[in-house]
Amino acid sequence: MSEYAILVFPAANRVYAESSRRLLCAELAAFSEALDVSLDDITEIQLAGVDYVGFSTAEPLGEDDIALLSAASSLYALFEVVDGPLDGTLLRPVPLTRPDRFDSDLLTIQKYQGKTNELFTTMLVNLTCLALAEPRAMLRRPLRLLDPLCGRGTTLNQAMMYGFDAAGVDIDGKDFEAYERFIKTWLRTKRLKHAAESGQLRKNKVRLGRRLEISYAASKADHKAGNVRTLTYLGTDTLKTDELFPARSFDLIVADAPYGVAHGSRREAEVSRSPHDLLAAAVPVWQRVLRPGGALGISWNTMVLPRRELVGILRAAGLDVREGGPFEEFGHRVDQAIYRDLVIATKSQD
């Protein structure tokens, strides 16, 4: 048997930091289903007064398993726990193979009220990837991710970090403008080869909003080889998603639903603060652009929308909801009015 310890990434957000080790335990349990070896005895531990998340395996982690685990959201460093001299305990560092294509400031540099914690966003993307019919696909090929409620683009940026093609939809004009300024400036500052085009979004000569389309490469070598990724942001109503993207065109749909507190959603020219109404209307639209074998991940505020109601909405749209085990252990407090949870669902390959 092999034993391991994970040093958790220090979260700047104090409230999230208090939950991060517990959430990582649940995330590791989900990762375990995609690994060649099972992660057993996953729990919070202390070594020399320092907090870790520990687990054991029947056999040592292989290269492929380490590569997949390297994506775990709060994993800062991985150690193998070994016996030292005089019955002591030693931590042997395990080299990681992180999937990140860019510097971490792509996720951390934006600061604004209501921003979803970037570690949580990474976890939500990870769990959605792991639910795919091909859970290791995130390491093998560029996936296509849609965030149909993308706001200022935290999920889009995480998709970029993983080398995915990304698309977002959001009706808030200020969020569209803020993200356009940020991502164009960031790409220029990093001196990355890219082409950006923005303008009016039209269909059948009807103006629907605004659009931003970017193609870019992570390096000069990638650009020379034609390894170019795409980023699209449509500033329009999410209920038009299936009119603007082809059916079955995304591997992943990842969304942070309005919390019904300081966030709003627009439908029929009126602002609604009801996540239930928005999701009941939007999920059937979103699932039409999800590929068979694809997965959808949604985070939301359980204080305004009970889990059973959201699960009912997903099932009514023909999606299979992951329940039990780690998939019901991700709830955590954000503030007094928000208790956030997530749900993962898949689309049948039939």
Percent of the chain with pLDDT over 70: 94
Closest among 204, 285, 212 to 250, alpha carbons compared? 285
Greater confidence, 80 or 16? 80
Q: Where do the structural domains in the chain lie, given as residue ranges? A: 2-93, 105-346
Q: How far apart are CA 23 and CA 5, in angstroms?
A: 15
Task: Give the pLDDT band (50/70/90) at residue 89.
Answer: confident
Spacing of C-alpha 335 from chain mean position: 21
Residue 212 Cα distances to 144, 154, 202, 231, 236, angstroms: 17, 16, 12, 8, 11
Percent of the chain scored above 90 by pLDDT?
81
What mean pLDDT is predicted for residues 264-268? 45
pLDDT, tens digit, 9 for 90 and up, residues 175-191: 999 999 999 999 999 99
Confidence tier at 274 by pLDDT (50, 70, 90): confident
- pTM recorded for the entire structure: 0.93
Is CATH 3.30.1340 the classification given to domain 2-93?
A: no
Residues 6+ apart with CB under 8 A from 88: none
CATH topology of domain 105-346: Rossmann fold (3.40.50)
Query: How far is Cα of residue 200 from the mean position of the Cα atoms in its chain?
Result: 28
pLDDT of res. 262: 40
The dihedral built from the CA positions of residue 141, 151, 71 and 252, taken in this order, carries a sign that is negative
**Structure confidence by residue, pLDDT tens digits, 189-237:** 999 999 999 999 999 889 999 999 999 999 999 998 999 999 999 999 9
Mean pLDDT of the region 259-287: 72
**Average pLDDT, whole number, for the chain?**
92
pLDDT at 104: 93
- Cβ atoms within 10 Å of 115's Cβ, excluding its own: 14
